[in-house]
A and B are shown apart, each in its own frame.
Chain A
Amino acid sequence: GAVVSQHPSWVICKSGTSVKIECRSLDFQATTMFWYRQFPKQSLMLMATSNEGSKATYEQGVEKDKFLINHASLTLSTLTVTSAHPEDSSFYICSASSQGANGYTFGSGTRLTVV
């Protein structure tokens, strides 16, 4: 089946620094990838839709200058959390589909802790 690889699985960074999270589709090409944020015991909140070769589409309330998304190839999307603050600490997950609504595959997630 389709595999989405996400790295790192966890990261600790200092306030004010930037952190990059990578999401790769290993065995299929993904023109669209999605980035989610998940707080403890809560559901996935869609942050943005990453489009290969064009600008990402951000959901209402998500700061595009803080959460930079780059989708430079059909197999790689990156999310950079810039000038991270403790309130950015969360679980970030990406997903992509190889075959429509029944084919969404999620990465294993990245736990970000900002200290």
Chain B
Amino acid sequence: QKEVEQDPGPLSVPEGAIVSLNCTYSNSAFQYFMWYRQYSRKGPELLMYTYSSGNKEDGRFTAQVDKSSKYISLFIRDSQPSDSATYLCAMTGHTGTASKLTFGTGTRLQVTL
């Protein structure tokens, strides 16, 4: 069993839809949770960062963490074609600059006109 499970998709939605992306994990030591967006042939860029359980909102993006269920989500409101990318969840148990991140496989999102 992988430490982090993420549906690879692809997920296709019409413009303006609300998108829900999810990851489950098995390691209860994970406390820091991140969502990255990766465009084709580019490095990942950090979208959201959350510590422990709770919600965090930034513009059209909302990240949720439920540590009791070992389940994290990223919601994208009013999705745009420019949101078409692969979304990777990542997590770690430590906050130091040498902390390794464990990634999900990534979900490919396609927002259509």
User: Which of A's residues lie within 8 Å of B, judged by CB?
Assistant: 4, 6, 30-32, 34, 41-44, 46, 49, 51, 91, 93, 95-109, 111
Q: Given A34-B100, A43-B106 in contact, is the A109-B94 Cβ separation under 8 Å? A: no
Instruction: Give how many A-B residue pairs fall within 8 Å (CB-CB).
Output: 72
Assess whether B103 is interfacial by the CB under 8 Å rule.
Answer: yes
Residue of B nearest to A106 (CB): B43
* Size of interface on B: residues with Cβ below 8 Å to A: 29
For B94-113 the 0/1 string (1 means CB < 8 A from A) is 11111111011110100000
Is the beta-carbon distance between B42 and A108 smaller than 8 angstroms?
Answer: yes
Separation in Å of the A57 CB from the closest CB of chain B?
Answer: 9
- 20 pairs across A/B with beta carbons < 8 Å? A4-B43, A6-B43, A32-B98, A43-B6, A43-B88, A43-B104, A44-B88, A46-B100, A49-B100, A93-B43, A99-B97, A101-B32, A101-B95, A102-B32, A102-B95, A103-B97, A104-B90, A107-B43, A108-B42, A109-B41
Contacts of B44 in A (CB 8 A): 44, 93, 106
Q: What does DSSP make chain B's interface, helix, strand, loop or mixed?
A: loop
Chain B residues packing against A (C-beta within 8 Å): 6, 8, 32, 34, 36, 41-46, 49, 51, 88, 90, 92, 94-101, 103-106, 108
Q: Smallest CB-CB separation from B43: which chain A residue?
A: A106
B42 and A31 within 8 A (CB): no
